Structure 1
Amino acid sequence: GKIRFEDSPPEWRGQQHNYITPLSLSLPLSITIYTHTYIYIRARTDIQILYMAHQLAQAEVYVPWSLQVWRAVMNWLTFFYQICLQIVSFTPSIAQILSYVGLRQSLLFCSSLSFKPLPVVELPLTESSTAAPLHVSVNDIRNGGGYQCLEKLTVVLDLDETLVCAYETSSLPAVVHAQAIEAGLKWFELECVSSDKECEGKPKISYVTVFERPGLHEFLKQIGEFADLILFTAGLEDYARPLVDKIDVDDRFCHRLYRPSTVSTEYREHIKDLSCLSKDLSRTVIVDNNPFSFLLQPSNGIPCVPFSAGQPHDEQLLEVILPLLKHLSLQKDIRPVLDEKFHMPEWFQMHGIPAFGSTV
């Protein structure tokens, strides 16, 4: 319980007196103790400490050194009781303990939705990579003395903040636009005609400024040599279709999926369910800046760093993601590799989402 001293009359404050001062105790039983001394206990205590305080209060005369000893004992007992109570009441989890010592971020993904840049993948030169160059469309890997033909890798790519970043032209600050162009970012303006009508019955038109992620076209070209490309965006088709027409002039995407192809769950909306593409997902990988987009298949996702116009020197596509995809193209099942690298099932569980998919 807690000990509360009732307010004393103003004339008592700062004076020596022998009046009886009431001491109220917030215990399950209503108890009022009257004492002749000025003992102020300011911490939470238990019955044993209260009993000692009461015994001390009953004494008529104490020599100064004895009173000081008792006060010191009382303070130490109260201090240790507080510590024990905090330990019992607020026992931390393993993740909290790790965070206290600064290890949680290095052992697990941070609690925010932003991911650190992926490390540059340096692939060792193996016999398999020498025998089967990465630019061929069908990959062969050595397996038990023979060769096993693998199906072509399927790479699902997000659009916004993964391949491009787009801004409503009227709301884009001029200084951001100028700095991005000066830094060498490729860009174009897009006229989007919405299926929604204005109040006068005319189609609604909006103007968008689009910046391409550095290395975009070379990235698509090289991936197309060893994988099937699928665009999967949660954006509306009225906006995304003309944009993709601009960046995919060579028709490298064999399929384009828009918001109607996404699904909703009790945890998030606009989820990209990869099972609509194939029943066997051992050779299917999705690259998306929003990890919640692939929460139904966490072992198939690569969480990439979001791209914006303020990052004109971004190198993620060619220096980070492309080497990783080349490495995955040589794997019979890409999921164990991605599980070991990103630990996405554990990351989702940290955010209260159960693991829907698992490595087969």
Structure 2
Amino acid sequence: MRTAAVVGTGLIGTSAALALTARGIAVYLEDADPDAAHTAASLGAGTTDEPSEPVDLAIVAVPPALVGTVLADCQRRGLARSYTDVASVKAGPRAEAVALGCDTAHYIGGHPMAGREQSGPLAARADLFEGRPWVLTPTADTTTETLNAALELVALCGAMPVVMDAGAHDRAVALVSHAPQLFSSLVAARLEHADETAVRLAGQGVRDVTRIAASDPRMWLDILSANAGVVADVLEELAVDLNTAVGALRSLAGDEETGRRKGTDGIESVMRRGNNGQARIPGKHGAPPTRYETVVVAIGDQPGELGRLFREAARAGVNIEDVAIDHSAGRQVGLVQLSIAPTATHQLVSALVERGWDVRD
């Protein structure tokens, strides 16, 4: 690949453009909003000039409902030799492309499984896709040239290609992305009019559950509209479990011993099922999940403190597998939770205590 076009310079389109330009690809940028394209260009994502000849690959980075229309326009103009998109839903855009008479032999659906709570070109990052799955949904008439172009795009962005059927993809993302987004928003909505005292008690648990609730509702409405039926199916199953949990909790709150025992069994059952489901989520580098020990260290809210802590861990010969920070309300201190291999716990704690760090139990 020598040249590419990115049509739509939001978070995903601009991130892909930044990744490609970093690898020496000439990238041409387009957007219905010229200011967005110029912003992306100013970040080093490419140029807003028109290509003098068809590019090797055009990346359609627009909402799912617009993919078919934009693809048809790009092909009418002869923008590229091959085309892909990055929409988070695949079956609908493909059907629209077919209905509009698009050349589907030189088009392959794609979906990088990456994103952020922020949107727009200013939120873009060249490393957004590194190590992330990137789904490709070829059809029986997809040419080898087009498939190879899409695979090269995935490789240049540092992602991992996953080839799937479009319908299977939409069912999968409803389960692991779209329904969780709505559920996070539903939990966060409970806080909108909650007593201020209750909100101030928020800890890491509610922060984890509601993190993605900060996402742009307009962007998600486009996504959910394109996959509404499948997402509704997932939420309907969740609603059954929620009603069961409500019934179990009512039994626990009652006076009858039999009812309380039934409630205990119901809550324990759903939580154990949750344990089993969470354990299936791939761990580091896609390997089976690993159970780490957590070392909690209090640090001051000053520049360089976190970096100094990481250097101390490196000096002790301990690899930090994951990190989370719980900020203390009203205090200039944070609790850093370092996830490390169980065999390294004593080694790290001893080294940090020796160097004066406040290690918490």
TM-score if structure 1 supplies the norm length?
0.26
Task: Give the helix-richer structure, 1 or 2.
Answer: 2
If asked which structure has higher relative contact order (CA below 8 Å, sep 6+), I would say 1
Larger radius of gyration: 1
